[in-house]
Amino acid sequence: MGERTTLAKASSNFASLRTVVPMSIVKQWSLKEGDQLDWSWEARNGEMIIVIKKAEHIDSAAGIRFDVQRSGKRKKVAKGK
């Protein structure tokens, strides 16, 4: 099993919950405040499987899409999308 975190109410105005991203994951994936995460999930064998990916960055001025690699460096993927 991995690390355990606790859910807390995100805001009194919303029904969302929040949790802490463990520091080992922050360091491994070079995450920083303001980064966005893409969440997907599925039920498998009676368990919820969650996959979290660091969201890709879009350079809006140039219309170039980048995937953020594990090292934190950006890799050009496509232009004009």
**Comparing C-alpha atoms, which of 76, 67, 1 is closest to residue 29?**
67
- Total-model pTM: 0.57
What was the pLDDT predicted at 12? Answer: 83
Give the N- to C-terminal CA distance of the chain in Å, as an integer: 39
Q: Could you say which residues of the chain have pLDDT below 70?
A: 1, 57-81
What was the pLDDT predicted at 70? Answer: 53
What was the pLDDT predicted at 80? Answer: 47
